[in-house]
């Protein structure tokens, strides 16, 4: 067992584990250096490069979790969806019927993901937990209908309100395939998987509950590893989030972590939730904010220390170090 896995199992630990979303990414000079030589999608498709990028933040900062380098859209490319990245995904917007009719994920076409995980599992120190991930059906649907990221996700919200059989079919297609994709990752060495529902929070509570949480639950059900469900901006629907049935829940910075924890459930672990903007300030402020965060969960097993969303690419390295040191020193 690792620190992260013990924490997920609500076991008492000597200190709290820490890792951050997007830790393998653009704030790291060694990432930017590799990306000068490899385009984003090529880097993901080459297990040597992808595993190296996964390991970069572990070597530099000693995070307790190593999240594999890929994108939530990677398995959709292996279901025949063409896209580019600039820096986020860009694709031809699809209809619900086109999404429902996509071919099922060809596991041979994501063999590079399995190989990346095998390499990472071999190379990381035993105490570091290897983390796999997928996008949740609502969030993948948002990109497929819109063709890119957006502020409003009106095509998603419209389709969710209409609630047609075609919506059910499109969500079912994404649900079964992301379940298979995560099961493959666990087989290849992922010890923990996180489901990213990054844009679900744009939905009203009733649709989150009747659609997003149900789909997320079905993706995670029966997987042979602990799971984390991360859906930022869902403070309006924390009380029912436990229905997803994950081992742990990631919370953003908007709600105090202890308040979110009580709302989501007591027999679960929780991950978060420092505002990534705090890492853009200065080491002294970061230490104070970390101390306040840790006070809020003091004496309660099951807290994975992290940010409320991905680390910003302009984050100074010394601030990341101050963040991790503050967590470590606090025990
Ligand atoms: O180098 C570059 O220019 C690419 C930037 C980049 C990176 C580093 C993208 C494009 N994706 C990634 C890696 C990535 N994406 C990881 C790797 C592991 C790690 O966390 O270190 C992960 C887990 C993701 C997941 C992801 N991709 C999410 C969910 C997490 C979140 O932040 O909410 C989302 C929403 C995406 C879509 C996406 N891909 C890339 C960008 C910039 C975006 C978001 C912006 C947009 O929608 O336009």
Instruction: Give the per-residue pLDDT at 271.
Output: 98
Domain assignment present for 3? no
d(C-alpha 216, C-alpha 309), whole Å: 19
Question: Is any atom of ligand 1 closer than 6 Å to the C-beta of 40?
Answer: yes
Residues 31-50 have a mean pLDDT of: 98
Quote the ligand 1 centre to 28 CA distance (angstroms): 14
On whether residue 291 sits in a domain, the answer given is no
Give 119's pLDDT tier (boundaries 50, 70, 90). Answer: very high
C-alpha separations of 244 from 153, 197, 260, 268 in Å: 23, 12, 15, 12
Q: Are strands 129-135 and 65-67 parallel, antiparallel or unpaired?
A: parallel
* Total of domains in the chain: 1
CB 233 less than 6 A from any atom of ligand 1 = no
**Ligand 1, residues 23, 24, 25: which to mutate, most atoms within 8 A of Cβ?**
25
- For residue 90, what is the domain's CATH number? 3.20.20.210
Q: Is 55 in the pocket of ligand 1 (CB under 6 A)?
A: no
What is the average pLDDT score of the chain?
97
Task: Respond yes or no: is residue 6 known to be catalytic.
Answer: no
Q: Is residue 320 within 8 Å of residue 30, measured between CB atoms?
A: no
pLDDT of residue 177: 98
Tell me the residue range of the domain where 102 lies.
17-264
Asked if pLDDT for residue 261 goes beyond 80, the answer is: yes
164 or 331, higher pLDDT: 164
**Residue 238 C-alpha to ligand 1 middle, in angstroms?**
24
| 211 in active site | no
Instruction: Give how far Cα 139 sits from Cα of 66, 147, 163, 201, 222, Å.
Output: 23, 12, 16, 10, 21
In a domain, 222, yes or no: yes
Q: Give the nearest ligand 1 atom to 135 CA.
A: 29
Query: Residue 331 — pLDDT band, cuts 50, 70, 90?
Result: low
- Write down the catalytic residue from 71, 197, 218, 252: 71
Q: Is the pLDDT of residue 5 over 80?
A: yes
Task: Give me the phi and psi of 152, to 5 degrees please.
Answer: -105, -25
140: pLDDT strictly greater than 90: yes
67 lines ligand 1 (CB under 6 A): yes
The pLDDT tens digits for 159-191 are 999 999 999 999 999 999 999 999 999 999 999
pLDDT (average), residues 132-156: 98
298 found inside a domain: no
**124 CB less than 6 Å from ligand 1?**
no
Whether residue 22 lies in the annotated active site: yes
The reply to whether ligand 1 has any atom less than 6 angstroms from the CB of 24 is: yes
> Which residue's alpha carbon is at the smallest distance from atom 2 of ligand 1?
87
What CA–CA distance (Å, rounded) separates 134 from 145?
Answer: 18
Is 217 labeled as catalytic in the residue annotation?
no
Does pTM top 0.85 for this prediction?
Answer: yes
Please write down the long-range contacts of 53-60, taking CB distance under 8 Å and 24 or more positions apart. Answer: 53/24, 54/24, 54/116, 54/120, 55/120, 55/123, 55/124, 56/24, 56/28, 56/30, 56/31, 57/23, 57/24, 57/28, 58/124, 58/125, 58/128, 60/28, 60/30, 60/317
Look at residue 246 and tell me if it is in a domain.
Answer: yes
- Identify the helix (H) or strand (E) that includes residue 237: none
Ligand 1 in reach of 44 Cβ (< 6 A): no
């Amino acid at each position: 067992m690792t620190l992260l896995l013990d924490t997920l199992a609500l076991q008492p630990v000597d200190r709290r584990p820490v890792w951050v979303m997007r830790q393998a990414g653009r704030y790291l000079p060694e990432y930017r250096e590799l990306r000068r030589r490899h385009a984003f999608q090529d880097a993901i498709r080459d297990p040597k490069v992808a595993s190296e990028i996964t390991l970069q933040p572990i070597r530099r900062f000693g995070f307790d979790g190593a999240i594999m380098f890929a994108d939530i859209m990677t398995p959709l490319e292996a279901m025949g969806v063409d896209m580019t990245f600039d820096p986020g995904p860009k694709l031809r917007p699809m209809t619900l019927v086109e999404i429902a009719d996509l071919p099922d994920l060809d596991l041979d076409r994501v063999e590079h993901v399995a190989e990346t995980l095998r390499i990472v599992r071999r190379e990381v120190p035993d105490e570091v937990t290897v983390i796999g991930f997928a996008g949740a059906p609502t969030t993948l649907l948002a990109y497929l209908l819109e063709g890119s990221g957006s502020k409003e996700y009106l095509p998603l919200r419209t389709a969710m309100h209409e609630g047609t059989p075609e919506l059910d079919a499109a969500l079912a297609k994404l649900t079964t395939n992301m379940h298979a994709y995560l099961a493959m990752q666990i087989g290849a060495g992922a010890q923990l998987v996180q489901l990213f529902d990054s844009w679900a929070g744009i939905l009203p509570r009733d649709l989150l509950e009747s659609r997003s949480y149900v789909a997320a639950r079905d993706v995670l059900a029966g997987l042979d590893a602990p799971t984390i469900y991360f859906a930022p901006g869902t403070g309006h629907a924390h009380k029912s989030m436990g229905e997803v049935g994950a081992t742990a829940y990631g919370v953003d910075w908007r709600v105090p972590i202890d308040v979110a924890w009580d709302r989501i459930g007591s027999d679960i672990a929780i991950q978060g939730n420092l505002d990534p903007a705090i890492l853009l300030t200065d080491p002294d402020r970061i230490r104070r904010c970390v101390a306040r965060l840790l006070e809020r969960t003091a004496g309660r097993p099951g807290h994975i220390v992290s940010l409320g969303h991905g680390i910003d690419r302009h984050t100074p390295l010394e601030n990341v170090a101050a963040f991790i040191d503050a967590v470590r020193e606090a025990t």
